[in-house]
Amino acid sequence: MKILLSSPSLSRGTTNILMEPDHLSGEYQIVGGWAWPSVLLGMDAPVGAVVVAAHRVDIERGPVVILASVLYASIGPVYDSDDRLIASGLSHWLNQRHAEVHFDMFYSREVGTTPNLFKGRVYECVSRGELQFEPVISPAPWDDPEQPVGAILSLQREGRLFVPAEAEGIREIFNAYRVGQMGAVNPPPLLNALFCAISGMLHYPWMDPGGGGPRLLSSWIEGLGLMDR
């Protein structure tokens, strides 16, 4: 998959994307899932992740495309004692994705004090100009992994989930997680971020300002009463 051209529609809150393969081109609701850094087994430094997902809304039962994903350790750039740049940080990657597909909505799990700590660092990057847009970060509406897992399985069965080759690791991690750790409440960072993005689109589907109603992410949720919340 390759993005050839994109243009935002501010009045509709969407982005029109010309993509290869062509059948994926269309109008998309784009959100980010944000997993805050946590310590992983076998690693010394905390690691977080961001996943950018897009749901095509100009057709019924449109595809869901994973546009990009990344692991990160630092929000902003990192310098050594001589003020030389060591790492560009997540902010550089976010600037690139924002310029590419024009979105600012993110969902993250709000557990403990960690989110507030890292949110503060995000807005420090905004104030310093290191992050060139201001993300809107809302709580991801999932406590039980069953909902995002069920939605992802439904999308896979329907042939509506598209993962680029460079993000194929997400699919492998998801399959391993589903088989071995379905009850786990703390999935790995990439899955945490994916679950945040999917649950955000599940609970807050794009609404057609022209009166066409919501574009539900998956028919799997129709009986769950999520739209009544």
The better pLDDT of the pair 176, 97 is held by 97
What are the domain boundaries of the chain? 2-219
pLDDT at residue 10 in the model:
85
Instruction: Reply yes or no on whether the pLDDT at 228 is more than 50.
Output: no
Query: If you average pLDDT over residues 152-174, what whole number do you get?
Result: 83
pLDDT at residue 38 in the model:
76
What pLDDT band is residue 222 in, cutting at 50, 70 and 90? Answer: very low
Task: Report the run of H or E that residue 55 belongs to, with start and end.
Answer: strand 47-56
pLDDT at residue 43 in the model:
56
pLDDT at residue 227 in the model:
32
pLDDT at residue 78 in the model:
81
List the one residue out of 71, 70, 77, 72 whose CA is nearest residue 128. 77
At position 225, the amino acid (one-letter code) is G
Query: If you average pLDDT over residues 7-11, what whole number do you get?
Result: 90
Note the CATH number of domain 2-219: 3.30.420
Instruction: Reply yes or no on whether the pLDDT at 122 is more than 90.
Output: yes
Instruction: Reply yes or no on whether the pLDDT at 14 is more than 80.
Output: yes
The better pLDDT of the pair 10, 145 is held by 10
Structure token pair of residue 148: 């995002």
pLDDT at residue 104 in the model:
94
Instruction: Reply yes or no on whether the pLDDT at 93 is more than 70.
Output: yes
pLDDT at residue 118 in the model:
87
pLDDT at residue 224 in the model:
39
